[in-house]
Amino acid sequence: MQHRTLGNTLLEVSALGLGCMGLSFVYGPATEKTQAIAVIRAAVEQGVTFFDTAEVYGPFTNEELMGEALAPFRGKVVIATKFGFRIGPGGVRLDGLDSRPAHIKEVAEASLRRLKVDALDLFYQHRVDPAVPIEDVAGAVKGLIQQGKVKHFGLSEAGAQTIRRAHAVQPVTALQSEYSLWFREPEAEILPTLEELGIGFVPFSPLGKGFLTGKIDETTKFDATDFRNVVPRFSPEARKANQAVVDLLGTLATRLKATPAQIALAWLLAQKPWIVPIPGTTKLHRLQENNGAASIVLSAAELREIDQAAAAITVQGARYPEHLLKLVGK
C-alpha cells in the first residue's frame, strides 16, 4: 500500500483509508463486534493506516469499537474523528448542530477516552454550524492543538469561503466531503481551493454508497434501517437510470481484469496526489477488493475515456434527502 500526504502539515497516511461508519451505523444493523474488529485489523494487515470515525456514529459506539480494535497499533495508525452534532443523554442523537467552543472541548475529551489515545490525530468539524463563526471553531481546535490533545484540524462538507476563513486561523490539514464518479461537484470550486491552500482531500462515499460496486440495481431491497431507503438517488427509478455509470465502470473493469469498485477508486486516486478515499465495508473480501485498487494505475487515455463517457451521463436523484442537503456546502 502506497502512502500519501494530506496537506502542507505533512500528515502521511495510506493511499486508501477505511471509512468505519457502516460497521456501527446507517447501513442497517451494526456489524457483530468480533467481525467488525476482524475487518479493522485485516485493514491494518493490508497496509491501511488511516481510519475514519465520529462521535455521532452510533452515537459513540463506533469510536469505542475503534478504540478496542486499534489498541495494538497505537502510533502506527491515524484515526480521524469528528465533532459538531447535538447528542443528548444516553447517546441519543438530537436534531441540530453544536460547534460552540466549549462543546468542541468536551467532545475532544470524550473522544480521547473512547479511542484510548493521548491525542486525536485528525479532528474534523462534521458540518458547518451557522450559529458559530468558523473563526471561533478554528480557534477552539487551535487551542486543543496547542495543548497537545489534537494533532490536525479538518473540515467536512464545508464551502470554499468557510475553508479559507478557517484556514486563516488554524491551518486545515484535510477536507472530507463526498466525491466520486457519480458526484463530481467538488471539482468546480473545492478542489482548486484545496490545491491553492495546500489542504488534502478525503472523499467519503467514493463508491457511491455501494452503487458503484455494481452489486446494486433497481430490484435491490435494503434493510428497513438502511439510510439509503430515504436517499432520492437510491429510489428504484433513479437506480435504473443511474445504471449507466456502473456499466461504464464495468466495461473498463473487464478490459483491465479488475472490478467496477476498483476502477472507481483508481479513478479517484488518479485525480490528485493528495486525495485519499475512505471506502467502507463490513466484509473481508470487499476490503481486499477495495485495497487492490491502490495498485491500479489508469493511463491518461483510460482517464479520458472515463471522463468522456461520464460527461454523457446525467445522474438522477439528489445525494441526500432535503433536510441533510441543507447542511452541506456552507
Q: Which residues are catalytic?
A: 57
Backbone angles phi, psi at 121, to 5 degrees: -65, -45
Decide: helix, strand or coil at residue 328.
coil
**What sign for the dihedral angle of Cα 151, 153, 154, 160?**
negative
Single-letter residue type at 235: S
Instruction: Mention every residue, 6+ apart, whose C-beta is less than 8 A from residue 125.
Output: 82, 83, 84, 99, 137, 141, 154, 155, 156, 158
Q: Which helix (H) or strand (E) holds 123?
A: strand 122-125
Query: CA-to-CA distance for 22 and 53, rounded, in angstroms?
Result: 10
The DSSP secondary structure of 146-166, one letter per residue, reads HTTSBS-EEEES--HHHHHHH
Single-letter residue type at 228: R
The DSSP secondary structure of 216-263, one letter per residue, reads --TT----TTBGGGG-GGGSHHHHHHHHHHHHHHHHHHHHHT--HHHH
Query: CA-to-CA distance for 72 and 66, rounded, in angstroms?
Result: 11
**Cβ atoms of 160 and 152 closer than 8 Å:** no
Q: Pick the closest to residue 278 from 42, 54, 17 (CA basis).
A: 17
